[in-house]
């Protein structure tokens, strides 16, 4: 058995683990990185990168078939295998950034084995025992496949197997109406598949209902069938002929995609041997240190908090600050944005309207600006959507955007909330015309308009100025 002593040992080479490894190694800390699967983790290989690549191909197909702006529509000729080739090419283009070779070049000792704790200060990976001053658990998550009657006996897809398809599904059934389910539903409909989404509760139920309705209406208008309030009771069939049964109806298709959430990858780590407290995820304090063993940190999905790639990267940066520099860093979530990449997109940061009303009550002001108020949206011929901003005591506490490029527009509000900026920071910003980003400034202006234009005091002051100013 080989033994290594190091400063930091990281388990998992996804977004969070790679961020910690790169930061610590480049700052001079001896760094060991353990990964038994693919470098880059879920995001590169099965999640964000392939799904957005597929969405891009689907968007191009849809653009061809939609009439408007004086351009006649044409039905695209979709080569599904070639679309999947595009997905693989994008992954291959990005993969060198996350590769073992690159990280070894940064000074990271990469071991391609599964790591498990053997003591509070040691991890074993293959025939190597790593003793470290600090450990970081960055093992991510996997698709959740619940114990539904018959499901294990029926061929089904998850995000880990969907992108291996070479033939276009004739009728894709999707179990789950969350972001992954809706994104893949719209993409496959645009690529020529019949699609049925089966959701046990409400589709996009974690998002603002007003904004979610804009997205769901658009997806339905393209021909996706979305069935809500239909918990799945049983799955039966075989390859090419699958039936999903709910309490009220049955739905048949050729393929089934299970998009019912995520399961954290913490089994097999032998956490009890390191004294690490865990339940759904690693129990951590507000510095991401594991309860029961403060030598250990958890980042990303393993920390049991928001499950987004950019959150894992954010956690990784905080862990580097703690481990490499010895500076306390406290995690927060109020400034974390997220996006559903349907068309139109749906983006959120901070509190939703309902959450803001619960927290701020009468002190809350809600601003709504429709996309139709944007000259750029009018010129582009796509005025679907709105910008909604929740303001308390002159500061934004949340923003919801449904519409074109919502994922890009939400960044301005994420920065404002992160920095504690007041709404005046946005009204004082000069933005290029015509851009969709002007919608954000219009929202800030709409907050101040009643205070300026409907105020008797302001009118009195202006009257005095006009009367007496030389």
> Can you say which residues are annotated as belonging to the binding site for NAD(+)?
176-183, 199, 261
Name the CA dihedral angle for 457, 460, 465, 468, rounded to a multiple of 10 degrees: -140
Question: Can you read off the two tokens belonging to residue 65?
Answer: 């078939």
Which of 187, 216, 223 minimizes the C-alpha distance to 56? 187
Which of 103, 109, 233, 92 minimizes the C-alpha distance to 163? 92
* CA atoms of 33 and 99, how far apart (whole Å): 12
* CA atoms of 68 and 55, how far apart (whole Å): 21
- The answer to whether residues 373 and 444 touch, using CB atoms and an 8 Å cutoff, is no
In three-state secondary structure terms, 386 is strand
Name the CA dihedral angle for 103, 104, 107, 112, rounded to a multiple of 10 degrees: 90
Question: Can you read off the two tokens belonging to residue 86?
Answer: 């595009």
Listed in sequence order, the residues at least 6 apart from 328 whose beta carbon sits closer than 8 Å to its beta carbon are 287, 322
- The answer to whether residues 440 and 378 touch, using CB atoms and an 8 Å cutoff, is no
In three-state secondary structure terms, 384 is coil
CA distances from 199 to 205, 229, 402 (A): 10, 6, 21
Pairing state between β 171-175 and 225-227 = unpaired
| Number of other residues whose CB lies within 10 A of the CB of residue 29 | 21
**Annotated binding residues, as ranges?**
52, 115, 139-141, 176-183, 199, 261, 301
DSSP class of residue 371? G
Alpha-helix residue ranges (DSSP H) falling in 152-228: 179-190, 209-221
* CA atoms of 305 and 302, how far apart (whole Å): 8
**Annotated binding residues for FAD, as ranges?**
52, 115, 139-141, 301
* CA atoms of 333 and 417, how far apart (whole Å): 11
CA distances from 39 to 13, 26, 64, 101, 136 (A): 5, 19, 36, 10, 16
């Amino acid at each position: 058995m080989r033994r290594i002593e190091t400063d930091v040992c990281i388990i998992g080479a996804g977004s969070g683990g790679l961020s910690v490894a790169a930061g610590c190694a480049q700052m001079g800390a001896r760094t060991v990185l353990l990964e038994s699967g693919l470098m880059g983790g879920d995001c590169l290989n099965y999640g964000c990168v392939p799904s957005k690549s597929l969405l891009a191909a689907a968007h191009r197909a849809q653009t061809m078939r939609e009439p408007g702006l004086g351009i006649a529509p044409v039905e695209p000729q979709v080569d599904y295998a070639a679309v999947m080739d595009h997905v693989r090419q994008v992954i291959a283009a990005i993969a060198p950034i996350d590769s073992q070779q690159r990280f070894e070049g940064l000074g990271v000792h990469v071991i391609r084995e599964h790591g498990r704790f053997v003591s509070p200060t040691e991890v074993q990976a293959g025939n190597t025992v790593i003793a470290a001053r600090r450990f970081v658990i960055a093992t991510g998550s996997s698709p959740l496949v619940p114990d539904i009657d018959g499901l294990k006996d029926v061929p089904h897809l998850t995000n880990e197997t969907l992108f291996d398809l070479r033939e276009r599904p004739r009728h894709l059934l999707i179990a789950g109406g969350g972001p992954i389910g809706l994104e893949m539903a719209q993409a496959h409909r645009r690529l020529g598949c019949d699609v049925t989404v089966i959701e046990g509760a409400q589709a996009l139920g974690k998002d603002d209902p007003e904004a979610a309705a804009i997205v769901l209406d658009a997806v339905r208008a393209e021909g996706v069938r979305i069935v809500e309030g239909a918990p799945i009771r049983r799955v039966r069939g075989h390859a090419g002929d699958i039936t999903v049964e709910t309490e009220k109806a049955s739905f048949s298709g050729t393929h089934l995609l299970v998009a019912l959430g995520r399961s954290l990858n913490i089994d097999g780590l032998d956490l009890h041997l390191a004294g690490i407290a865990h339940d759904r995820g690693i129990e951590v304090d507000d510095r991401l240190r594991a309860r029961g063993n403060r030598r250990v940190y958890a980042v990303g999905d393993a920390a049991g908090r928001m499950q987004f790639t950019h959150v894992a990267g954010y956690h990784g940066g905080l862990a580097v600050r703690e481990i490499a520099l010895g500076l306390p860093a406290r995690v927060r979530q109020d400034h974390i944005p997220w996006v559903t990449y349907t068309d139109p997109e749906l983006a959120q940061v901070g509190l939703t309207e309902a959450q803001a009303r619960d927290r701020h009550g009468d002190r809350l002001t809600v601003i709504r600006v429709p996309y139709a108020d944007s000259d750029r949206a009018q010129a582009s011929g796509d005025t679907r959507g709105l910008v909604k901003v929740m303001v308390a005591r002159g500061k934004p506490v949340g923003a919801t955007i449904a519409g074109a490029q919502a994922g890009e527009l939400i960044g301005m509000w994420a920065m404002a909330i992160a920095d504690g900026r007041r709404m005046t920071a946005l009204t004082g910003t000069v933005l290029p015309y015509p851009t969709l980003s002007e919608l954000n400034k219009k929202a800030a202006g709409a907050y101040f308009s009643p205070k300026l234009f409907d105020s008797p005091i302001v009118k009195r002051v202006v009257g005095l100025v006009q009367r007496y100013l030389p």
